[in-house]
Amino acid sequence: MKGTNLGEFEELVLLTIAALVNEAYSVGICDELERQTKRAVKLGVVHSVLNRLEEKGLVKSKLGEATQTRGGKRKRYYTITSAGKSALVKSKEVRDQLWNMIPEFSLKRI
Amino acid sequence: MKNQNDIHPPRWATRFLSWYCKDELLEDLEGDLHEYFERNVISKGATKAKLIYIIDVFKFLRLYTIRKPEFVNLLINWIMLGSYIKTSGRTIVRNKLFSTINIVGLAISMSVGLLLIGMLFDIFSYDKFHVNHKRIYRVISHYEYLDQKDGNFMATTSLKAAKEIAQTFSVPEEVAILSREFTGDMKAGEKVIPLSGFWSNPAFFKVFSFQLAQGNQATALKDPYSVVLTEKSARKLFGDEPALGKFVTLNNDKQYTVTGILKDLPTFSHMQFDMLGSLVTSEANARKDDLAWDNVWGTWVYLLLPPDADLTALKTSLDELSKREDPTVKNTHIELALQPMDDIMLGQNLGNQIGPTMGRSSMLIFAGLAFIVILSAGFNYTNLSIARSLKRTREVGIRKVIGALKRDVMGQFVVEAVIISLCAVVIAILLFVLLKPYFLNIEPSIQKVFLLNLSPKLLLYFIGFAIVVGMAAGFFPALFFSKINAALVLKNASNSTFFRKLTVRKVLIVFQYCISIIFITSTIVVYKQYKHFITFDLGFKTENILNIALQGNKAEILTKEFSELPEVTGVSQSLMVTSVGNYWGTYVKYYQNPNDSLVVGYNTVDENYLPLHGHKLLAGRNFTARADSSESEVIVNQAVLKRFNIAGQNPEKALGEILKVDGKNLRIVAVMKNFHYGRANARESTKEVMFRYSNKTARLVNVKIKTQDILATYAKIQAIWKKVDPIHPMEAKFYSEQIEEAFSGLKASVKVAGFLAFLAICISSLGLLGMVVFTTETRLKEISIRKVMGASEIRLLYLLGKGFFLLLAIAALISIPVTILFFEKVAFPELANHSPLALGEMLLGVLAVLALALIMIGTQTIKVARANPAEVLKNE
């Protein structure tokens, strides 16, 4: 398995998957990210990140039901694995620790 | 507005996506892109949405999405290839007639392709033996006097420019200078051999990779009166004795030391010479105008540039040099430019080349024609394969039912085509070997440039070419068969309607016949022009005149000797041969208008020249024989009177007027009728011309012969020559021969066009034969029934042939106007004094092609029409 370290964008994608619960598929993730981060998110980037996350075993995917839209093609839904969860938790812990180290006044001055 | 659901992303893009994308990623990715597409249709419109879709498809072409080639597939393909080859072999053997037609047709056309490849191969082999060939550039120049642009660039430049570049430019590593003309009779001991070569400087050996067998590269061309001989020349002069350090004498004048022996030059070198003299020798003897800035006709300059040289900066420095030097000559601008050495053989058509080259335009024309001929043969293949399809559809249907995919069927047919074209290339290579000597003899320059030797590498190219041709020819039939619907074909055994609507076949036949007709009519037209020009009325007589180059011998001695032969009716002397494309000109002024000067073409002749050539004098008298060589008389043509407006253009009154020629005052003693001084097809072939008198400067003697036995007389003349000049072989040609040579380009195009016409006709006839055989065979039963019902043979002939007649008529109707337009609008405006388009002969050519086609249709249909209907029908 490749390293479990998460990149910034990988973390965002992983969080979105967790947030969308059962509705996380590529275009949906894209839209949600755009809404939350207010920046343009390219499908190609999301797609390759999803592919990488799956390779790392942080998410798993299955195909949904075929619908009239999307030219009759099925969606691939992503769900977060326990490895994914622990990776998210770990990165949050790291952040929290760092946040806690920051003295009150130094932030106020900014 | 269209319903949104009706708008689809471009199908080919989707197909491309599914071709490259991994199966496990494909469906989801396709869906995603489709979803975006639907959104974009609403927000941005259909066109933009499609564009974005296409861009996205290409954006997703990434390492992680690409399908990995599967080993199993490769294995299956490999196994299937064996099967394809086996079944292809069977079909080829089973359909002997079609296979023969295809193989022969392809072989004929490929032989032309092979010639082309051989030529290109030779051309690209030129000068590659120079280690630095990529870094060698030649300085070329463009001469412009006043505003008269003198056509193209010339391969030469001035010695002055060469010196300036060598001394003041820092970029070139070395500057090699080759200067003409180091030519003459070289004498070593008692042996005298005529040799030719160039003056050159020591940098020659640094720029080029010519190897010295003996001698020192650094010093061989350093000292005055040094000469470097090629091994061949050294052998001629000294035999097997060592030549290095020996003395040789040039033209019985100066003595030179042999300072180097050069290994014989490779054939594929664009410069060829027997020897090199040290440039300092010629500089020591240079006249003032040899170093003039505008003397751009005698020196070739080659620069060895560093690998990272900035060519634009160098060009700028050349332009600056021109700016600096232009004021040293009056009214003249010389532009210099650089030409990579690798472009010399196949580059622009420059004047003053150092050796024979092949122009890019003629190569392109030949390549175009070869391509058309190959295309035509490829059409035959396509045509016949699709025609045969009736018999093969079921095979394809069964293959598909068993599980063959589209690409398997395609593979099958492409392999079949490749096998046929490989068979064809074997025959084509034989044809290539047979055609080679004829091809090389088409034009003298072709023989000088090409060897066309078969080498293993060239053979490899040939086979590669055959595979490409086979794949191209097989592609359309393969596509056609792969689209066959298996169920439809198998259900309906005789579904001839399936192919009825195919007009492609007819279009292909029309195309082939158009090509044939265009080639044959063009050949006829060009041949007529050639005949027209070599029998052109030049304004004087050229019959039975043998022009013999003096090569430095005394004209009087030869004249005296030749005159004693009973068959010789007259001998005259002249400077040059007119009407074959040679020009000698000098400035002339008329004393009444001293500011108006003009270059007038001239020939210096003796008193016998004008009567011998039958030039017509309008007024005045011929030159009279003089003992001394001073010049005082001139004979001009009408155009000179007109140009200077001498004596109101009245020939009688113009006599006695004075022209200033080369600083001498010459009296007009006669006015002659205009004649074609230039080549008959040159635009200004009858412009201002004068004859000057001289009994000293002749380069030729013109011998008029009256004899029944030309060969015997020629032998006698040759014997006299041998007696007078034992060193040089006699260079004698009949005037009419020289005129033919002047039009050898036209003659070569007649030969090439005629050859291609022959090929095109062969190929299209083969194709037509195949089609006729096929249609008659498939309608055999119908014909038999018609016959039983009482149809006459004529009626049947008409029935079977009318479709083809129609196609031939269409081909004729398209191609004749195309040919006429081409010659009237494109070719003839370039050709002065051409004869009118020979419509009658053209039609004759068309009729010949059509007659051939009709005979073929006729014989085949008669065979069927005469068949005994009982024989055919009883087999049912």
Q: In this complex, is the C-beta atom of B30 within 8 Å of any C-beta atom belonging to chain A?
A: yes
Residues whose CB falls within 8 Å of the CB of residue B13, separated by 6 or more in sequence, listed in order: B53, B54, B57
B721-779 pLDDT per residue, tens: 998 888 888 889 999 888 888 888 888 888 888 888 888 888 888 888 888 887 787 78
Is the Cβ pair A73, B62 closer than 8 Å? no
Residues whose CB falls within 8 Å of the CB of residue B661, separated by 6 or more in sequence, listed in order: B586, B587, B588, B600, B602, B634, B690, B692
Rounded to whole angstroms, the Cα distance separating B698 from B572 reads: 9
Q: What is the pLDDT of residue B385?
A: 80
User: What is the complex's ipTM, to 2 decimals?
Assistant: 0.85
Show the tokens assigned to B676.
Answer: 């074609």
Q: Residues B700, B576: contact at Cβ < 8 Å?
A: yes
Domain boundary assignment for chain B: 4-59, 73-126+356-494, 133-343, 503-537+737-876, 552-730
pTM metric for this prediction: 0.72
C-alpha distance from A77 to closest chain B C-alpha (Å): 9
Q: What is the mean pLDDT of chain B?
A: 85
Rounded to whole angstroms, the Cα distance separating B85 from B101 reads: 20
User: Between A43-56 and A8-20, two packed helices, what is the crossing angle to 10 degrees?
Assistant: 90
Rounded to whole angstroms, the Cα distance separating B852 from B773 reads: 15
Amino acid (1-letter code) at residue B138: R
B593 CA to centre of own chain: 47
Q: Residues B126, B268: contact at Cβ < 8 Å?
A: yes
Closest by Cβ to A71, choosing from B31, B62, B64: B31
Amino acid (1-letter code) at residue B185: D
- As to burial, measured by CB atoms within 10 angstroms (0-12 exposed, 13-18 middle, 19+ buried), residue B95 is middle
B28-54 pLDDT per residue, tens: 888 888 888 888 888 888 888 888 888
Phi, psi of B146 (to 5 degrees): 50, -125
Rounded to whole angstroms, the Cα distance separating B562 from B570 reads: 9
SS3 A1: coil
Q: What is the pLDDT of residue A2?
A: 45
C-alpha distance from B63 to closest chain A C-alpha (Å): 10
Q: What is the pLDDT of residue B459?
A: 93
For residue B129, which of B435, B286, B342 has the smallest C-alpha distance? B342
Show the tokens assigned to B269.
Answer: 């070198």
User: Between B360-402 and B456-482, two packed helices, what is the crossing angle to 10 degrees?
Assistant: 50
Contact residues on chain A for B49, CB-CB shorter than 8 A: none
Is the Cβ pair B31, A74 closer than 8 Å? yes
Show the tokens assigned to B219.
Answer: 């010093």
Q: What is the pLDDT of residue B2?
A: 43
A10-31 pLDDT per residue, tens: 889 999 998 888 888 888 899 8
Contact residues on chain B for A26, CB-CB shorter than 8 A: 28, 32
Show the tokens assigned to B463.
Answer: 């086979």
Whole-angstrom CA distances from B296 to B197, B282, B317, B334, B335 are 18, 16, 18, 9, 10
Rounded to whole angstroms, the Cα distance separating B142 from B502 reads: 56
C-alpha distance from B400 to closest chain A C-alpha (Å): 28
Rounded to whole angstroms, the Cα distance separating B365 from B357 reads: 15
Q: What is the pLDDT of residue A20?
A: 87
DSSP annotation of B290 reads G
Q: In this complex, is the C-beta atom of B614 within 8 Å of any C-beta atom belonging to chain A?
A: no
B336-367 pLDDT per residue, tens: 999 999 888 887 777 778 887 877 887 888 88
Rounded to whole angstroms, the Cα distance separating B473 from B377 reads: 9
Closest by Cβ to A48, choosing from B8, B32, B64: B64
| Residue from B4, B11, B24, B32 whose CB has the most chain A CBs within 10 Å, to mutate | B32
Contact residues on chain A for B38, CB-CB shorter than 8 A: 69-70
Q: Which CATH class is domain A8-108?
A: mainly alpha
Beta strands in B591-725 (DSSP E): 593-605, 617-620, 633-637, 658-661, 664-672, 689-693, 700-705
Whole-angstrom CA distances from B643 to B594, B598, B687 are 14, 9, 9
Is the Cβ pair B31, A75 closer than 8 Å? yes
Closest by Cβ to B28, choosing from A44, A69, A76: A76
Token pair 């491309």: residue? B16
C-alpha distance from B19 to closest chain A C-alpha (Å): 17
Q: A68 to chain B: nearest residue by CA? A: B5
For residue B366, which of B548, B553, B120 has the smallest C-alpha distance? B120
Domain boundary assignment for chain A: 8-108
Rounded to whole angstroms, the Cα distance separating B52 from B65 reads: 19
To the nearest whole percent, how much of chain B has pLDDT over 90?
18
Q: Collect all residues from A whose CB is shorter than 8 A from any CB in B.
A: 25-27, 43-44, 47-48, 51, 63, 69-71, 73-76
Amino acid (1-letter code) at residue B748: A
Q: How confident is the model at residue B1 (pLDDT cuts 50, 70, 90)?
A: very low
For residue B470, which of B806, B204, B105 has the smallest C-alpha distance? B105
Q: A77 to chain B: nearest residue by CA? A: B28
Contact residues on chain A for B32, CB-CB shorter than 8 A: 26-27, 43, 47, 70
Q: What is the pLDDT of residue A1?
A: 40
Q: B6 to chain A: nearest residue by CA? A: A71
C-alpha distance from B39 to closest chain A C-alpha (Å): 10
Q: Residues A59, A11: contact at Cβ < 8 Å?
A: no
B267-290 pLDDT per residue, tens: 889 999 999 999 998 888 877 777
Q: In this complex, is the C-beta atom of B56 within 8 Å of any C-beta atom belonging to chain A?
A: yes
Q: What is the pLDDT of residue A107?
A: 66
Higher pLDDT, B63 or B175: B175
Q: Residues A45, A9: contact at Cβ < 8 Å?
A: yes
Q: What is the pLDDT of residue B493?
A: 52
Closest by Cβ to A69, choosing from B8, B9, B38: B38
Rounded to whole angstroms, the Cα distance separating B2 from B4 reads: 6
Contact residues on chain A for B59, CB-CB shorter than 8 A: 44
Contact residues on chain B for A51, CB-CB shorter than 8 A: 25, 64
Q: Residues B662, B709: contact at Cβ < 8 Å?
A: no
Is the Cβ pair B64, A69 closer than 8 Å? no
Q: What number of C-beta contacts closer than 8 Å exist between A and B? A: 48
